[in-house]
Structure 1
Amino acid sequence: MLLKRARLIPRGITLPGKQRLGQSLPPFNTPFRINNCRYGLALKRQTIFNRQGVVEMKMDTRHSALYYLIVFLLLALPATASWASVTILGSRIIYPSTASSVDVQLKNNDAIPYIVQTWFDDGDMNTSPENSSAMPFIATPPVFRIQPKAGQVVRVIYNNTKKLPQDRESVFWFNVLQVPPTNIGSDSGKNKMLVMLRSRIKLFYRPDGLGKPDNLAKKLQIKTVNKGSGKSGIVIVNPQPWFASLSNLNVKVNGASYNLDADMIAPFSSQTWWLPGKRSLKSFSGTVTVTLVNDLGARISESYDVPHH
């Protein structure tokens, strides 16, 4: 359950049972109001996980056919951050070890208000806000109301609860969950569907002294590897203290071109991509083109000659 309880109730929230500011937010299936906008509805829930985030739907079970049709359509379509009305300005957070805090800008591009909940995880998408207390970063405010067409600054703070390596970067994920009001744009008394969108971006903790990864792409090392079964692959070695965030990986060998699933390569480590089918790379010519995402979110490509063995 992504939004079950929060640590604090933002100002302006009226909860059932006369709860006051500073108490825990009720379970998500308990409706609550913020400035006459009703958030949360006790309906059947289906959670859809994807690589970009989570779409969480709630709908009356009496309309199960429509419910499953919408679930199918959401699964069939690629999930992108552009679905979210509340967007994060920037594609990543760089947190220098010398900083006391880093500000993250959010923007509500919609004409209705939203409740927003923020938390961190270490790569496990199933980490809920309740389980994120072990993370060495906190976001404040953790829960807030964002007005239509307005912005919000979220302050990220390293709380020092976990010692992080100082000879390399560490990576965490910043989560933003937007919850729409249920009494806007619908007639009262009718069944409604609630769609919650979750966005995630990476946070890179960068120790002092590492500098900036200006030439990261140029310093990667490319190798080939062969299995006894006849399969061959490409090995990319990252001998540097920064993460290499690949957005695209293309291999061209002996006239064939392969677009492989890009991934992130940790500092001082390597990853292997196996080519489809049985193909020996013992005698061939070709290139590997790696596209990386830099600190500003720009994409930088570098091509390497595939080494011969």
Structure 2
Amino acid sequence: MIRTAFACLLSACALLATAPAQSQVIVHGTRQIFPGDQREITVRVENVGQRASLIQAWTDDGDKQVSPEEASTPFVLRPPVFRLDPGKSQAMRVMFTGADLPQDRESIYWLNVLDIPPTPEADASSTGNFLEFSLRTRIKLIYRPKGLKDVAQAARALTWSLQHDAQGWFLQATNPTPYYVHMSTLALRVQGKDFPSAEPPMIAPLSSQRYPISGLTAAPTGGNVQFSSINDAGGVTAQSVSLPVR
């Protein structure tokens, strides 16, 4: 039944993109940090709806299409499958298996919580007048090795440059820190006008990331990078950084 529900979830993605849907099961926290000096953490899941749900939870390494049975990560969840009644919550244990992960930077995985609704009652299913989806919540699970410091300064440590190639203009960010920097918004502001980057991705530790920007047709003589980053608690901080004068 679980495998079938997961397959139905994937096949329903196109419908979910156009039909608003909301899970009655919520995961507390927008991301989970796993400290390297701990063996396990707990994640609270709550049913805020009016019906019971069957919950399946698993982790993946970035491939959101992989099934729970095929996903391979250095984490195990207990319990992986459970019933959650209305108004109740459940603490899930996320346990580290001791894999050999890098100790000079963070590693990122994903925590999935699938809300599987109960089978419709006999009188409802007999008419055929019902439509139900299994809805999945997917949040970041970040392994943070022991000894890393100054995570609050990671976004401020980014350096920026404006560059051009055959595809157009883009901002390039360099991250010298051991942390993932999670972007919310990003734009180049030139003389009061913003040239945005759509859905900017996060930037990995000790790496560079290109962010294409739209609308810019010529090289400006200056400008400011306007961006918002998301911290461990899910809070958003806005920053402005001057670009080097060309």
Q: Same fold (TM over 0.5)?
A: yes
Hey, what's the Cα distance between the residues in 2 that align with 1:247 and 1:78? Answer: 22
Hey, what's the Cα distance between the residues in 1 that align with 2:38 and 2:167? Answer: 50
- 2:11 corresponds to: 47
- How many Å apart are 1:254 and its aligned residue? 4.2
Amino acid aligned to 2:213: L
- How many Å apart are 1:222 and its aligned residue? 0.7
Query: Aligned with 1:115: secondary structure?
Result: strand
For structure 2, which runs of at least 5 residues remain unmatched after alignment?
A: none
For structure 1, which runs of at least 5 residues remain unmatched after alignment?
A: 5-27, 30-39, 51-70
Residue from 18, 21, 27 that aligns with 1:76:
18
Query: What are the residue-to-residue correspondences of 1:293-308 with 2, within 5 Å?
Result: 293-308=230-245
Hey, what's the Cα distance between the residues in 2 that align with 1:246 and 1:120? Answer: 22
- How many Å apart are 1:185 and its aligned residue? 9.3
Structure 2 residue 67 is the aligned partner of structure 1 residue 135: no
Structure 2 residue 31 is the aligned partner of structure 1 residue 92: yes
String of CA shifts for 1:148-194, please: whole Å, max 9, x gaps: 1100010000112x311000000000000011112359535232432
Query: Aligned with 2:108: secondary structure?
Result: strand
Query: What are the residue-to-residue correspondences of 1:49-198 with 2, within 5 Å?
Result: 49=13, 71=15, 74-77=16-19, 83-132=22-71, 134-160=72-98, 162-184=99-121, 187=124, 189-191=126-128, 192-198=130-136
Structure with greater contact order relative to length (CA < 8 Å, sep ≥ 6): 2
- 1:36 corresponds to: none
Hey, what's the Cα distance between the residues in 2 that align with 1:251 and 1:78? Answer: 32
* 1:176–1:200 Cα contact (<8 Å) kept: yes
Amino acid aligned to 1:172: Y
Q: 1:45 to 1:204 in 2, by over 3 A?
A: closer
- 2:224 corresponds to: 287
* 2:196–2:214 Cα contact (<8 Å) kept: no
* 1:231–1:280 Cα contact (<8 Å) kept: no
Structure 1 segments (4+ residues) deviating >4 Å: none
Query: Aligned with 1:75: secondary structure?
Result: helix
Q: 1:246 to 1:187 in 2, by over 3 A?
A: same
* 1:235–1:273 Cα contact (<8 Å) kept: yes
* 2:172–2:208 Cα contact (<8 Å) kept: yes
- How many Å apart are 1:230 and its aligned residue? 8.3
* 1:118–1:139 Cα contact (<8 Å) kept: yes
Query: Aligned with 2:137: secondary structure?
Result: strand
* 2:200–2:211 Cα contact (<8 Å) kept: no
Amino acid aligned to 1:110: G
Q: 1:211 to 1:278 in 2, by over 3 A?
A: closer
Hey, what's the Cα distance between the residues in 1 that align with 2:243 and 2:203? Answer: 19
Amino acid aligned to 1:124: D
Structure 2 residue 168 is the aligned partner of structure 1 residue 231: yes
Hey, what's the Cα distance between the residues in 1 that align with 2:110 and 2:10? Answer: 23
Q: 1:285 to 1:172 in 2, by over 3 A?
A: same
Q: CA RMSD of the aligned region, Å?
A: 2.4
- 2:143 corresponds to: 205
Q: 1:233 to 1:188 in 2, by over 3 A?
A: closer
Structure-1-length-normalised TM-score: 0.73
String of CA shifts for 1:50-74, please: whole Å, max 9, x gaps: 8xxxxxxxxxxxxxxxxxxxx3xx3
- 1:269 corresponds to: 207
Structure 2 residue 215 is the aligned partner of structure 1 residue 251: no
- How many Å apart are 1:101 and its aligned residue? 0.6
- How many Å apart are 1:46 and its aligned residue? 7.0
Which structure's CA Rg is the greater one?
1
Query: Aligned with 2:70: secondary structure?
Result: helix
- How many Å apart are 1:307 and its aligned residue? 1.6
Hey, what's the Cα distance between the residues in 1 that align with 2:179 and 2:125? Answer: 53
Query: Aligned with 2:104: secondary structure?
Result: coil
Amino acid aligned to 1:49: C
Hey, what's the Cα distance between the residues in 2 that align with 1:297 and 1:279? Answer: 35
